[in-house]
Amino acid sequence: MRKPAARIRLADAAFVLFDERGYERTTVDDIAERAGVGRTTFFRHYRSKEAVIFPDHDRLLELIRDRLATSSDSTALVAVSDAVRLVLLHYIDEGDLARRRYALTSKVPALRDREIASVARYQRLFREFIADWMGDPTEAASLRAELMAAAVVAAHNHVLRRWLRGESADPVAEVDEAMREVLALFPAPQSPKGRDDEGTTLVAFRTSQDLDALLPSLRRLIEDSR
Amino acid sequence: MRKPAARIRLADAAFVLFDERGYERTTVDDIAERAGVGRTTFFRHYRSKEAVIFPDHDRLLELIRDRLATSSDSTALVAVSDAVRLVLLHYIDEGDLARRRYALTSKVPALRDREIASVARYQRLFREFIADWMGDPTEAASLRAELMAAAVVAAHNHVLRRWLRGESADPVAEVDEAMREVLALFPAPQSPKGRDDEGTTLVAFRTSQDLDALLPSLRRLIEDSR
DNA sequence: TTATAGACGGTACTCAGTACCGCTCGGTGG
DNA sequence: CCACCGAGCGGTACTGAGTACCGTCTATAA
């Protein structure tokens, strides 16, 4: 092991200084000096001042991509859930670091925007994957892929932020539950081939009536819509 | 009318130069010079180089906020749909300008990120409004508000981008249809008082099986979930 | 020992954004 | 007619992020 120490020292120095003086009032020179390296070295390790806070978004993107890539038609939704869980676990592994980053992104608009932009890249990945999986090139399917990806990412962020705020004891269970809820929102996987315009379509509703009391009108509806 | 000409001339100059040389290769000095004003004047009219592309996101935010504010409990979802339509109409009014902006944001990552950050602010507005409307402070409700807001915004963006790409002849009709689809995803407004945990709950699905073939499993599901 | 590649530090530059100052023009009241 | 005043503008100078380039040091291989 040669000396990847500089990279770590820079990140440490950055977080400490951001805590002490705030983000804007800390210059790259300050960080480099505190880490005991030159300014040039900072930019060798991190593309920008913001990047020192989000070191491995690219790696996370690859993680998602890889997990989604290894899935068949029938396991697509499982892959989505897995990928989401993977991302969550990544943050949990970071532990306190993730929480310090959250404290920063909550206060500094520039960092918040950067975080949001990163999330949008995850969402894009999911959207493309889901659209591809649905195979259906129609406008309706395209919209549904968009909605699904948005919901998946929103659910993840919701649980993640709860954990970051210390409001969740078992975030993995929560995200699994949230994903079930999200996927339940959307019509089932729909048989890949032989789309059935025949058959039976039900709409969702909730009623206090008994099922048997509903059956006649149900049959009438189905009959009418054929 | 005094002379708001400078502001417009600056925007025009910016778009022309961005088209000609690209965004990064155009400096604020270039824009100011072409508009025939000083560099200082540019920053008097626009907070940043990026802002010249997105002049009125703040106004749009106010537009949404206002529309949402003037709604009762029973018209909340209508207000959401209206607000979304308002935003879409704003872009449509811009016409060619919106399309030029789209061309830029498609090419320049920095501008794309900025756009995404703005959209996130809309989404936040919707999320807070929906959560407030639901009134329910439980975690499940909070998640549902998050999902709904994400879906609403995703639907809007989907239709907007279609129109920007020239793929939609009647974007207003499309966004109305998309909003109906989004709102249909989520359980009905739920009766304010006397929630019925009794009764019958159906989930939405589509199948090629006949209704009669499904009835046994349906009854079993209902029985199990009581 | 020499050669080479990689990591580093330093200098100098561009450009976005901020702070400040001083000018001019178009009223307005005396 | 004049003195005043505030708004809009241009210019200068500064900070700080990010880039380009160059010379140096060191470890490892030949």
| Over residues A212-224, mean pLDDT | 56
Does the distance separating the beta carbons of B153 and A150 come in below 8 Å? yes
**H helices of chain A, where?**
5-21, 28-35, 39-45, 57-69, 76-94, 96-107, 109-134, 139-164, 171-185, 211-224
Spatial contact of B182 and B159, defined as CB atoms under 8 Å apart: no
Q: Which amino acid is at A177?
A: E
- Lowest pLDDT segment from A1-10, A26-35, B86-95, B128-137: A1-10
- Does A85 score more than 70 pLDDT? yes
Phi-psi region of B212 (alpha: psi -120 to 50; beta: other; left: phi over 0): alpha
| Over residues A176-187, mean pLDDT | 92
B contact residues 62-121, partner A, Cβ 8 Å cutoff: 112-114, 116-117, 120
- Does A122 score more than 70 pLDDT? yes
Q: Is B165 helix (H, G, I), strand (E, B) or coil?
A: coil
pLDDT digits over A86-96, tens only? 999 999 999 89
| Over residues B51-65, mean pLDDT | 91
Indicate the residue of B188, B198, B209 with minimum beta-carbon distance to A199.
Answer: B209
Distance A196 CA to D30 C1' (A): 72
| Over residues B201-205, mean pLDDT | 50
Instruction: Please indicate whether residue A42 or residue B186 has the higher confidence score (pLDDT).
Output: A42
Q: On chain C, which bases lie within 7 A of the protein's CB atoms?
A: 7-11, 14-20
Looking at the C1' of nucleotide D9, which residue has the nearest alpha carbon?
A: B41
Q: Does A207 touch chain B (CB under 8 A)?
A: yes
Mutation target among A105, A146, A160 for the B interface, most CBs of B within 10 A: A146
Domains, chain B, ordered by start: 6-51 (1.10.10.60), 55-225 (1.10.357.10)
Query: Which DSSP symbol is given to A218?
Result: H
Q: Does B130 touch chain A (CB under 8 A)?
A: no
Instruction: Please indicate whether residue B203 or residue B145 has the higher confidence score (pLDDT).
Output: B145
Where does the pLDDT of residue B71 fall: very low under 50, low under 70, confident under 90, or very high at 90 and above? confident
pLDDT of residue A189: 53
- Does A226 score more than 80 pLDDT? no
- Lowest pLDDT segment from A12-16, A73-77, A106-110: A73-77
Strand D neighbours among B 155-194, CB < 7 A: none
Share of chain A above pLDDT 70, in %: 81
Where does the pLDDT of residue B181 fall: very low under 50, low under 70, confident under 90, or very high at 90 and above? very high
- Does B5 score more than 60 pLDDT? yes
Where does the pLDDT of residue B86 fall: very low under 50, low under 70, confident under 90, or very high at 90 and above? very high
Query: Is the sign of the CA dihedral A102, A106, A107, A113 positive or negative?
Result: positive
Share of chain B above pLDDT 90, in %: 72
Q: Residue B115, Cα to own-chain centre: how many angstroms?
A: 11
**Residue A184 burial class via C-beta count within 10 angstroms: exposed 0-12, middle 13-18, buried 19 and up:** exposed
User: Across all residues in chain B, what is the average pLDDT?
Assistant: 86
- Lowest pLDDT segment from A18-22, A78-82, A149-153, A198-202: A198-202
- Does B214 score more than 90 pLDDT? no
Instruction: Say how far apart CA B140 and CA B131 lie, in whole Å.
Output: 11
Spatial contact of A152 and A179, defined as CB atoms under 8 Å apart: yes
Does the distance separating the beta carbons of A211 and B222 come in below 8 Å? yes
pLDDT of residue A12: 94
Q: A66-70: list long-range contacts, CB under 8 Å, 24+ apart.
A: A68/A125, A68/A126, A68/A129
| Over residues A13-31, mean pLDDT | 96
| Over residues B203-217, mean pLDDT | 56
Q: What's the pTM value of the predicted model, to 2 decimals?
A: 0.81
- Does A155 score more than 60 pLDDT? yes
Where does the pLDDT of residue A56 fall: very low under 50, low under 70, confident under 90, or very high at 90 and above? confident
| Over residues B204-213, mean pLDDT | 57
